[in-house]
A and B are shown apart, each in its own frame.
Chain A
Amino acid sequence: MKRDYLRYERVLAAAAVVVCLSALTAFAAPAPAQAQVRGPGAVQPSLPYKMFPEPANKQFPVPKPPFTPGIFPCSECHKDMKPNPKRRTLTDEHTNIVLNHAQGQRWCLDCHDTYDRDKLHLVNGQRIGFDESYRLCGQCHGDKYRDWKVGVHGKRTGMWNGEKQYLLCVNCHNPHDPRFKPLKPMPPPVRPGDIR
């Protein structure tokens, strides 16, 4: 009992010393003290998931976007056309694209850039290439984007302890109709009774 009390007292004393010291340092030089808190030794707040801090412009080893043959660059056809930013249903071209991806809430130029047809744009207006389309998808599908970046969502090939090859979202999901399409299964195993 007495021991516990002593320990408690000691902890209190230590805490008091720490508080005093930190107050002193804060008073003497506020900027370095702040830097110390943010430094690598500082205790990070515990999050429900693991953070992988990365530079904003980090590049992922992705393949070329899977364009329909002959469709890219889009400016090939669009260079002489006057952009029409009015929301409408396309009747002359691209009629094969049926939007099954939050249809009714968006249309072509919400993702495709109006003035540079070879680019996409983010909601903040930043133009990005088709090879960075994962950033566009990640705006809404943040949880999938987070998993994709660490290699949990989507397929990885290459070396497990070396260079890994990523896939773009659009390599598996058609951006206009993203649900993964059912596949024909490979043949079932032979039943033991049928093995001769």
Chain B
Amino acid sequence: MPNQGKRDDPAFRMSRRKMMKGVAAVLGAMALPAKDAPASVWESFFQKNFRELSPEELKGVLARLEKEYSEKYKKAVTVRATPPIEGILFGYGLDLSRCIGCRRCVYACVGENNQSRDPQIQWIRVLQLNKERGVDLEDAEQYYNPAKVPEKGHFYMPVQCQQCELPPCTKVCPVQATWKERDGIVVVDYNWCIGCRYCMAACPYGARHFNWKKPGLPPAEMNPETHYLGNRPRPVGVVEKCTFCIQRVRNTPGRYTACVEICPVGARKFGNLLDPESEIRYIIENKRVFILKEDLNTRPKFYYFYAT
């Protein structure tokens, strides 16, 4: 063997393991945000899960995000992390006898919650159903586009996150980036989400949406009143969902959600399930109410009802 001598030379005595280590170290270093990286990139790189942040750390995170978004969207953006109000469990009512399928709610939601315009992400999906077949999801049409709604023989059922009491989506998250808050809202920590989309597969309502591309959000249309767990601008590669307008409702007094506020027929109702005097409790106690896919035992807090 002519090369035998060369191989025995100490300079060439590199084991496979050693070589792999070297390659990994170089690749790892290349993956780090070294090139023109501001300090904030490192801070977000080492940021903890939202639920593990101390009050001081949270303050720092919010300040960093506010600065980042304000620069990006060229306006004063506020990012709050208002905690849940004690003694509140949010519930939602939707009157199927009133909804006319005009999709005003869909676009009010997009405007309020800073969804990507291009590629399009919408948290509310309005289904057109056949009166003769009832709530038959096999027969649902979401791309209807007549000159005027409602169309004869049809009724409309908007579907969005049902804010389940037993949410299947949070169970499957491998990194616990999504969870149910004490006021019943299911939220996502966009900084912790790894984009595996298990939650999308687990959700039986199609309520979760993925940012396949960098969200296209024109600065002029950006809503600067944001919440960390809600409508703050999302990065590419994370999952997002309806949060009952967490930035609006977690205040005393708190505004109604954008979809309730826009609905021209007043089909959407919102309130505290623990308050016996609230509209939502009146509906549950006095109207014909059903929840979507009851058989899955997800226990939604989104109640469809017939007021007439």
Contact = CB atoms under 8 A, between A and B. Distances in A.
Interface stretch (B59-67, B164-172, B281-289): B281-289
Interface string B70-111: 000000000000000000100000010000111110110000
Contact of B282 (A152, A163, A184, A189): A152
B279 A183 contact: no
Contacts of A150: 279, 282
B272 interface: yes
Chain A CB count within 10 A is highest, among B146, B252, B255, B285, for B255
Interface string A34-70: 0000000000000001100000000000000000000
Interface residues of B, number: 47
B253 A161 contact: yes
Given A159-B256, A182-B149, A185-B103, A152 B119 contact: no
B265 A160 contact: no
A151 interface: yes
A182 B272 contact: no
Given A156-B269, A186-B104, 5 more contacts: A153-B266, A153-B307, A186-B103, A188-B145, A189-B125
Contacts, number: 110
A195 B106 CA distance: 18
A152 B307 contact: yes
Interface string A146-159: 01001111111111
B253 A163 contact: yes
A157 B254 CA distance: 11
A187 B266 contact: no
A98 interface: no
A187 B255 contact: no
B278 to A, nearest CB: 8
A191 interface: yes
A162 B254 contact: yes
Main SS class of interface, B: loop
B143 A156 contact: no
B297 interface: no
Contacts of A190: 119-120
Given A156-B256, A183-B100, A188 B266 contact: no
B145 A187 contact: yes
14 contacts: A152-B269, A152-B307, A153-B266, A158-B255, A159-B256, A180-B100, A182-B100, A185-B103, A185-B146, A185-B148, A185-B149, A186-B103, A186-B106, A188-B142
A188 to B, nearest CB: 5
A160 B249 contact: yes
A189 B254 CA distance: 30
